[in-house]
Structure 1
């Protein structure tokens, strides 16, 4: 088994006043040659945005982009005419493909918003851009893994142009679970949103992460009530 741990306080950090952003992987002015990606997982940004502020219109291409709002709400607009508000318990996906221009602003003028911006390297380039968004019942992740992205469209999950599964979990202290690879060549990256876990003997605190590959089964023990995002991702050569 291969294992890598990314502690919360080792992430890159940028404070632009209106935006406070922690970068798990190299992004913008943060560069670490040892933290470029985990398999097809290229970007994991933990962004907090002041009320009334946001990212103006900017382009993307050939990347699968996932947004998960943790607190507040974000307003999305793109050059296809799409306009949506993404709220807590929503997951948004956008296939940039041949190219798309979009903006993301805090939907509130006064309250901060916190969301995860995640980029996944696609398995096919230059696809037709697409957008989708769904609301997921938080009760379905109580002491369970709730699949929100899946390549086989299971349980009304969203899908990406990649063989990737994203699952959200919220577990009580004392609970235990095992995870296994979804398929050959798939690794798992667990990002702890809150609480405390022990994963394969490693203790993780809020915003810590662990990447696992070439494994058969790994045990997770919940030390303190915890919420986390588990991303099962192809390991690229």
Structure 2
């Protein structure tokens, strides 16, 4: 088994006043040659935006972009005419493909919005841009793992142009679970949203992360009530 540990305090940080952003991987003015990506996982930004503020219209191409709101609400607009509000328990994905221009603003004038923005390298370039959004029942991840994105393109599922899975879990203290590799040349990136867990001999706390590859199965011990996100991706070079 191979593992890499990213502690919360080791992340890049940008404070723009209206925006506070922690970067797990190199992004914008934060650069670490040892932290460019984990397989097909390119960006994991942990953002907080003040009320009434946001990101103006800006372009993306050839990237799969996932947004998960943790608190508050985020308003999305793009040049296809799509306009949506993403709230807690919503997951939004956008295949930028040949190119899309979008904006993201706090939907509230007074309350902060906190969200994760995650970029995945696609396995197919220059696809037609697409957008999807789905609300997930938080009760369905109580002491179990809730799959929110998978390669399954069955109607109603959220999927990316990549063999990638996203899974959420919320566990009480003392309620263990296990994770299994998705296959050869696949890796699992575990990001702790809250609480304390132990996996692969490492104790992880809020916003700590571990990347595992070349493994079969690992037990997750829950030392303190915890929520976490799992991202399974191909281990690209």
Q: Same fold (TM over 0.5)?
A: yes
* Gap runs ≥5 in structure 2: none
Instruction: Give the structure 2 partner of residue 180 of structure 1.
Output: 180
Match of 1:14 in 2: 14
User: What displacement does 1:157 show?
Assistant: 3.3
Residues 1:80 and 2:71 are matched in the alignment: no
Runs ≥4 residues deviating over 3 A = 153-157
CA RMSD in angstroms, aligned pairs only: 1.0
1:98 is paired with a residue whose SS is coil
Matched with 1:58 is: 58
Change (3 A) 1:179 1:154: farther
**2:29 matched residue in structure 1:** 29
CA drift of 1:201 comes to 1.5
2:57 match: secondary structure: strand
Q: Which runs of 5+ in 1 are unaligned?
A: none
Which residue does the alignment assign to 1:158?
Answer: 158
Q: Is the 8 A contact 1:147 1:155 kept in 2?
A: no
- SS of the residue corresponding to residue 17 of structure 1 reads coil
2:148 is matched with 148
**Residue 125 of structure 1 aligns to a residue in which SS?**
coil
1:111 aligns with: 111
SS at match of 1:146: strand
* 1:143-170 CA-partner distances (Å, limit 9, x unpaired): 1110000001479531000000000000
2:139 partner SS: helix
- Of 177-186 and 7-16, the range deviating more from structure 2: 177-186
CA contact (8 A) 1:178 1:220 kept: yes
Partner of 1:40: 40
Deviation digits for residues 121-150 of structure 1 (CA, Å, limit 9, x no counterpart): 000100000000000000000011100000
Corresponding residue number in structure 2 for 1:138: 138
| C-alpha deviation, 1:113, in angstroms | 0.4
Distance of 2:63 and 2:3 partners within structure 1: 25
Give the superposition deviation at 1:183. 2.1
Note the alpha carbon deviations across 1:83-129, whole angstroms, 9 max, x for none: 00000000000000000000000000000000000000000100000
Deviation, structure 1 residue 184 = 1.8
> Could you say if the C-alpha distance between residues 170 and 156 of structure 1 is closer, same or farther in structure 2, counting changes exceeding 3 Å?
farther
Distance change >3 Å, CA 81–CA 156, structure 1 → 2 = closer
Deviations, residues 24-67 of structure 1 (Å, cap 9, x unaligned)? 00000000000000000000000000000000000000000000
Contact 1:148–1:166 (8 Å) recurs in 2:
yes
Separation in structure 2 between the aligned mates of residue 126 and residue 64 of structure 1, nearest angstrom: 11
Structure 1 Cα separation of the partners of residues 168 and 176 of structure 2: 15
TM-score scaled by length of structure 2: 0.98
